[in-house]
Amino acid sequence: MSRNSPYERLQASGLSLPTPAAPVGTYVPFKLSGNMLYLSGQGPRQADGRLMTGKVGRDLGVEEAYKHAQLTGLNLLSVAHKALGDLDRVAQVVKLFGMVNATPDFHDHPAVINGCSDLLEKVFGARGRHARSAVGMGSLPGNISVEIEAIFEITKGDS
């Protein structure tokens, strides 16, 4: 690990990578293409496998949903680690697509997805700043509160 590596930044924040979840459908959790890593949508799955559920604006507020988005970011990072073998290979986070399971009258989707965005900037520094969409959905699989997919640019390595 290099000085101020993503792993050291996670550890300094009191966070750790969970074990990646197995896909629950006919897809793969990641796809490498050239110098790009595409991460399938992840949700707020705790280390014990329990999913955080609920509709934002009814069952939980922005602060709790923000934490769910941060947890989702950790799950994205665990898949990236599995794909790359080393998060130091992330040249930059290019884009996030964040989906919030929200009531029709909820309008603060960006504040929720900031949980993931803030985590990625904390872990990668300037390399973690990214383009992003944050949208509301009428429902998400298993009634999870958020789902986020990501695109990372990577450096060459042994994978």
1 — pLDDT class (breaks 50, 70, 90): very low
Residue 50 lies in a domain: yes
Strand duo 131-137 + 90-101: pairing:
parallel
CA gap 45, 64 in Å, rounded: 14
Residue 146 lies in a domain: yes
Could you tell me the residue range of the domain that residue 119 belongs to? 28-154
CA gap 26, 40 in Å, rounded: 11
57 — pLDDT class (breaks 50, 70, 90): very high
pLDDT at 158 over 70: no
Look at the chain and count its residues.
159
CA gap 50, 53 in Å, rounded: 9
Residue 39 lies in a domain: yes
The CATH number linked to 135 is 3.30.1330.40
Residue 97 lies in a domain: yes
Residue 44 lies in a domain: yes
Token pair of 148 as six digits: 């986020």
- Classify 156 as helix, strand or coil: coil
Place of tokens 């705790």: 46
Instruction: State how many domains the chain has.
Output: 1
Q: What is the pLDDT of residues 124-136, one digit of tens each?
A: 999 999 999 999 9
Residue 15 lies in a domain: no
pLDDT at 159 over 60: no
Alpha carbon of residue 2 to chain centroid:
23
